[in-house]
């Protein structure tokens, strides 16, 4: 089976900085791959390369995409950016409908179907009554969900999420991740996400890739990748890993406890 | 779910922003009021209903006696009507160009002169006037032609220089500022060497809606049509550009190509307006922002309503310019700022809408 997304030997240089070096990554259809790594590791750059937003060497293949036009790619790949631009004065309804742009074409009006899809994702993201508000007027968490709604309205096969939960409270973090999980079961959505919360990354991902200094350092199931040694090496963090039936829980340890030697 | 419909989907009404019949009616009404005022008010007052009958009489296949004397009929048809038409065209073009620049550059302070149109036109006109190529009267005089050429050259240079400097809209704006400063310096130099032409050049810069028959509106019309047609076609694309080039590209657009097309269309119209009427400031900023404050920020309504309200505003400003100190005429640039600025502050104070 061809994977939904396959990246081979990807090199990206930005303004003379070699940001990604020989990255290999694949996600099969319906799979959820989380990319973790310290700040500046190149996670955002990898997603931007997948979107065709930066020049690269190497190969990126999106299953079913041969058309090189941007609109064709946007029907296949949707994106939740790490720091979305908030358009001044734009209503939430219009903002979510932007997700339908690759389907309707630049010059055409949105159809009743577009409006129905946008209304559907808004209500699934708890934003049902917010259509007439401006995006600016939303709280941080509501904004993040509005951005998510726009990406889901795109109805693409591949969803790229760049730290989609950082502004959300615990309940909404779960809601958003559960919704994405449900959609991938319903529709075979392929998800590639960057997450800073390693416990959440273990809970919701099939596979985790550690990106460090522009390379994929480790990749595999959460329990194999999230080891004390890997986290110490790539994040410079000292943690304890607690086994839980639903997956590993990553607990930061203090310097004092590390000296007391309560690590196994 | 209690609110689910028999067909299963959640029942949520979701409306996109757009030009509602009520806002369109408001814009048409404003334009109509301005036209009627522009045709009836002046040194001789002419009753509005007679003006209307006279205009109907002018339509092919209709013969109606308006009851106007030949002299009054001539005032309406040969003096006031072309002037009102030119005011509509120039005001609409400058306003819609300003709205386009603001959307394309995602900058509330952008106006049609951002990429050096004003400075380029000013230099062109100054060179034409100081070389005694023309006196600024008449459409095919050298002054408007030189102004038009100067405006288009400066936009082109700004665009090329801005894209050499980088890919951001900021680099394009900075290139426009550099080009404008350079051309203004050139203009000052030419002026210094020809100080006797100072008054004439200053009068040209302050702008006017002056017509000699139908030649000015006829010249302006094709540019107005091209600008409005292109820019309105891209109104939805401009809404997508509001999320920035990167996200717009991720939504399947080619932001730089779209920006090039709409900015060139807006610049063409603005250059034509400037060459016919001089540098009329402020319209390209206050009209679009007033529309946003009153009706909303989507380009789907801002662009068409800027056409209507921009035209109306210019006709009324011209009416004030020719009646306030009659028989003398005020420069129209003075009137647009003098009336427009307090009005705009009032709108800013009373609107609760967030626009930028
Ligand atoms: N336009 C750019 N020019 C130069 N360096 C860049 C540019 N964008 C990102 N970088 C650098 O690339 C590295 C990776 O950035 P990024 O992909 O945003 O990391 P992450 O998302 O993992 O935090 C960082 O060191 C960053 O400073
Ligand atoms: Mg990042």
Q: Which residues pair with A252 in a beta bridge?
A: A239
Write out pLDDT tens, residues A214-236: 999 999 999 999 999 999 999 99
> Which residue in B15, B16, B249 has the most chain A C-beta atoms within 10 A of its own C-beta, making it the best mutation to test that interface?
B16
pLDDT of residue B157: 93
Report how far ligand 1's centroid is from the alpha carbon of B260 (Å). 28
Percent of chain B with pLDDT over 70: 93
In terms of Cβ atoms closer than 10 Å to its own Cβ (0-12, 13-18, 19+), residue A28 is middle
> Which residue in A50, A65, A83, A94 has the most chain B C-beta atoms within 10 A of its own C-beta, making it the best mutation to test that interface?
A94
Contact status of B48 with chain A (Cβ, < 8 Å): no
- Alpha carbons B303 and B235: distance in angstroms, whole number: 7
pLDDT of residue B71: 86
pLDDT of residue B51: 84
pLDDT of residue B134: 61
**Residue A162 in tokens:** 């760049």
Put simply, the answer to whether B250 touches A94 (Cβ < 8 Å) is no
Chain B 18-37, residues with CB within 8 Å of chain A CB atoms: 18
Write b or e for each residue in A147-166: b if 16 or more Cβ atoms lie within 10 A of its Cβ, otherwise e: bbbbbbbbbbbbbbbbbbbe
Point out the ligand 1 atom lying closest to the alpha carbon of residue A162.
21
Q: Which residues pair with A77 in a beta bridge?
A: A158
> Which residue in B4, B10, B243, B302 has the most chain A C-beta atoms within 10 A of its own C-beta, making it the best mutation to test that interface?
B243
- pLDDT band at B7, cuts 50/70/90? very low
In degrees and rounded to multiples of 5, residue B64 shows phi and psi of -130, 140
- pLDDT band at B1, cuts 50/70/90? very low
Among the listed residues A254, A227, A215, the one whose alpha carbon sits nearest the alpha carbon of residue A37 = A215
pLDDT of residue B352: 75
Mean of the per-residue pLDDT values of chain A: 92
pLDDT of residue B5: 39
- Full-model pTM: 0.91
Put simply, the answer to whether A107 touches B251 (Cβ < 8 Å) is no
Put simply, the answer to whether B298 touches A90 (Cβ < 8 Å) is yes
Which residues have CB under 6 Å of ligand 1? A 14-15, 17, 19, 37, 39-45
Q: What three-state secondary structure class fits B169?
A: helix
- pLDDT band at B8, cuts 50/70/90? very low
Searching chain B, which residue's CA lies closest to the CA of residue A120? B10
Nearest ligand atom owner, CA of A46: 1
CA B61 to chain centre: 34
* Residue owning tokens 């058309």: A67
- pLDDT band at B6, cuts 50/70/90? very low
Put simply, the answer to whether A71 touches B236 (Cβ < 8 Å) is no
CA distance B63 to chain A (A): 43
- Alpha carbons A226 and A248: distance in angstroms, whole number: 8
pLDDT along chain A (264 residues), means of 10: 90 94 95 95 96 94 88 96 94 97 92 94 92 93 94 96 91 90 91 94 94 94 93 93 90 73 48
**Residue A76 in tokens:** 């296949």
CB A61 within 8 A of CB A220: no
- Alpha carbons B227 and B318: distance in angstroms, whole number: 22
pLDDT of residue B57: 82
Searching chain B, which residue's CA lies closest to the CA of residue A128? B12
Instruction: Pinpoint the alpha helices (H) of chain B.
Output: 21-40, 48-58, 70-74, 81-105, 117-130, 142-165, 169-193, 198-206, 215-233, 235-241, 244-250, 255-277, 283-295, 299-323, 332-350
Q: Is residue B215 over pLDDT 90? A: no
Which positions ≥6 away from B23 have C-beta within 8 Å? B295, B301, B305
Mean of the per-residue pLDDT values of chain B: 88
Nearest ligand atom owner, CA of A235: 1
Report how far ligand 2's centroid is from the alpha carbon of A54 (Å). 14
Put simply, the answer to whether B355 touches A88 (Cβ < 8 Å) is yes
Among the listed residues A205, A203, A199, the one whose alpha carbon sits nearest the alpha carbon of residue A184 = A205
**ipTM of predicted assembly, 2 dp:** 0.92
Nearest CA to ligand 1 atom 7: A14
Q: Is residue B254 over pLDDT 80? A: yes
- pLDDT band at B2, cuts 50/70/90? very low
Q: Is residue B60 over pLDDT 50? A: yes
Put simply, the answer to whether B251 touches A72 (Cβ < 8 Å) is no
Put simply, the answer to whether A81 touches B246 (Cβ < 8 Å) is yes
Q: Is residue B257 over pLDDT 70? A: yes
- Alpha carbons B95 and B103: distance in angstroms, whole number: 12
CA B140 to chain centre: 21
CA angle B10, B13, B16 (to 5 degrees): 130
Point out the ligand 1 atom lying closest to the alpha carbon of residue A48.
17
Alpha carbon distances (Å) from A131 to A13, A101, A127, B244, B353: 40, 18, 8, 21, 15
Q: Between residues B61 and B81, which one has the greater pLDDT?
A: B81
- pLDDT band at B4, cuts 50/70/90? very low
Q: Is residue B325 over pLDDT 70? A: yes
Average pLDDT rounded to a whole number, residues B101-122: 90
């Amino acid at each position: 089976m061809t994977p939904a997304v396959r990246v081979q030997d990807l090199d990206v240089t930005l303004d003379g900085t070699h940001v990604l070096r020989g990255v290999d990554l694949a996600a099969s259809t319906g799979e959820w791959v989380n990319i973790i790594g310290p700040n500046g590791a190149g996670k955002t750059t990898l997603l931007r390369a997948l979107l065709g937003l930066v020049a690269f060497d190497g190969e990126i293949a999106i299953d079913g995409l041969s058309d090189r036009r941007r609109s064709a790619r946007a029907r296949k790949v949707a994106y939740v950016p790490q720091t979305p631009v908030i358009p001044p004065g734009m209503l939430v309804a219009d903002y979510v409908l932007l997700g339908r742009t690759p389907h309707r074409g630049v010059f055409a009006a949105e159809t009743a179907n577009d409006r129905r899809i946008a209304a559907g994702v808004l209500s699934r993201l708890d934003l049902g009554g917010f259509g007439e508000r401006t995006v600016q007027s939303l709280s941080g968490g509501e904004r993040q969900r509005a951005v998510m709604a726009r990406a889901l309205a795109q109805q693409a096969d591949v969803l790229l999420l760049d730290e989609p939960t950082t502004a959300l409270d615990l309940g909404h973090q779960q809601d958003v991740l559960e919704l994405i999980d449900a959609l991938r079961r319903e529709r075979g959505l392929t998800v590639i996400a960057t997450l800073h919360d390693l416990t959440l990354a273990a809970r919701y991902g099939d596979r985790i890739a550690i990106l460090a200094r522009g390379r994929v350092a480790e990749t595999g199931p959460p329990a194999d990748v999230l080891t004390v040694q890997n986290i110490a090496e790539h994040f410079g963090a000292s943690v304890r890993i607690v086994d839980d039936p639903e997956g590993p829980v990553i607990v930061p340890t203090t310097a004092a406890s590390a000296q007391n030697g309560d690590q196994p | 779910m209690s609110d689910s419909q028999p067909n299963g989907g959640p029942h949520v009404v979701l409306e996109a922003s757009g030009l509602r019949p009520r806002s369109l009616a408001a814009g048409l009404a404003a334009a109509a009021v301005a036209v009627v005022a522009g045709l009836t008010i002046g040194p001789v007052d002419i009753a509005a209903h007679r003006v209307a009958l006279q205009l109907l009489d002018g339509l092919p296949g209709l013969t109606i006696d308006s009851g106007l004397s030949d002299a009054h009929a001539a005032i309406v048809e040969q003096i006031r009507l072309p002037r009102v038409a030119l005011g509509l065209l120039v005001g609409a073009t400058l306003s819609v160009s300003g709205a386009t620049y603001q959307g394309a550059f995602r900058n509330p302070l952008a106006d049609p002169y951002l990429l050096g149109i004003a400075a380029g036109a000013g230099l062109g006109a100054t060179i034409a006037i100081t070389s005694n190529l023309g006196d600024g009267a008449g459409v095919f005089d050298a002054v408007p032609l030189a102004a038009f050429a100067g405006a288009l050259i400066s936009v082109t240079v700004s665009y090329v220089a801005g894209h050499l400097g980088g890919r951001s809209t900021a680099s394009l704006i900075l290139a426009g500022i550099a080009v404008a400063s350079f051309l203004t310096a050139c203009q000052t130099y030419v002026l210094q060497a020809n100080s006797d032409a100072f008054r004439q050049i200053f009068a040209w810069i302050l702008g006017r809606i002056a017509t000699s028959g139908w030649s000015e509106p006829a010249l302006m019309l094709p540019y107005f049509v091209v600008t409005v047609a292109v820019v309105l076609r891209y109104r939805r694309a401009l809404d997508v550009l509001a999320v920035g080039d990167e996200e717009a590209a991720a939504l399947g657009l080619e932001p730089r190509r779209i920006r090039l097309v709409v900015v060139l269309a807006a610049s063409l119209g603005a250059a034509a307006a400037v060459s016919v009427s001089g540098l009329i400031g402020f319209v390209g900023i206050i009209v679009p922002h007033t529309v946003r404050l009153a009706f909303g920020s989507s380009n789907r309504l801002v662009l068409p309503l800027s056409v209507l309200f921009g035209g109306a505003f210019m006709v009324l400003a011209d009416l004030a310019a020719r009646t306030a100190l009659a028989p003398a005429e005020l420069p129209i640039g003075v009137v647009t700022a003098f009336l427009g600025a307090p009005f705009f502050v009032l709108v800013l104070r009373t609107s609760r809408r967030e626009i930028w």
